A = this chain, B = another copy of it.
């Protein structure tokens, strides 16, 4: 029987998907450069410890997506050029992801909105009592109609009174908070990585099990009260955290520190290369 040539967006099987995701990552983050020739299918099968059929399943999808170009007898070439344009377009500034400047070129889609009891660790971080509620909103931000971040924000109910559900869909939360007279003091960010679960994968138009950049941020006002907890998941192929550093101090105390105010220069330098 003839096999239907399905141009799937994702390999079905577990092994095939792993290979696919691994190669996809290597291509999109530059470990495999444009024009580079991949090792042969047999070679790949050995390094991944799977059969050649499985490798082919993964390559078929990559090929259908235009990330590679296969040529009989010659080999398989990486075509990452098409992607990289899109990608550089949204490489972000220093330590301020999803911000004012891009607030105009991006749109947000509000997925859910409710007043509930936040998870323990959120309540703890914000300094909320065990029974206190918070406004919990889940949004997806899009750039050029492509979703790139999945955000969940927690704001104490008391503070969240000052703006509408509609505001959230359009304006960044900071604007809203500052407009409400909240005196923003310090914030603390924590960056890590995690996998895309079913809901997130669908919302971001990604394969389940894709790698995501995970960011958690606690914002406090000048009195030290928690005013916002942000939990963000970002597509690594469309978002990265850039930070210029300088080496300061002497002797034993010598260490790295973020170089502030140099963001623009540094980005410009990168763009040139």
| Residues of chain A whose beta carbon lies under 8 Å from any beta carbon of chain B | 12-14, 17-18, 21-22, 24-26, 29-31, 33-34, 36, 47-49, 80, 84, 91, 94-96, 99-100, 118-122, 124-125, 152, 178, 184-195, 197-200, 208-214, 217, 231, 234, 236, 239-247, 252, 254-262, 266, 270, 273
Contact = CB atoms under 8 A, between A and B. Distances in A.
B247 A184 contact: yes
A246 B48 contact: no
B266 A188 contact: yes
Contacts of A34: 120
16 contacts: A12-B14, A29-B194, A29-B231, A31-B121, A95-B257, A96-B256, A184-B247, A186-B245, A187-B244, A189-B243, A190-B243, A191-B213, A191-B240, A193-B211, A209-B209, A258-B260
B231 A187 contact: no
A210 B18 CA distance: 10
B273 A30 contact: no
Query: Which of A199, A236, A245, A246 is most buried by chain B, counting CB atoms within 10 A of its CB?
Result: A245
For the residues of A in contact with B, the DSSP-based class is mixed
B241 A192 contact: yes
A138 to B, nearest CB: 11
Contacts of A22: 195, 197-199, 208-209
A161 to B, nearest CB: 22
Contacts of A192: 29, 213, 236, 239-241
Nearest to A33: B120
Contact of A245 (B187, B211, B234, B240): B187
Given A96-B256, A186-B262, 20 more contacts: A17-B208, A21-B197, A22-B195, A22-B197, A29-B119, A29-B231, A30-B118, A31-B119, A34-B120, A47-B198, A95-B258, A99-B255, A186-B266, A187-B244, A187-B246, A188-B266, A189-B243, A193-B214, A193-B236, A217-B245
Contacts of A257: 94-95, 260-261
A110 B41 CA distance: 30
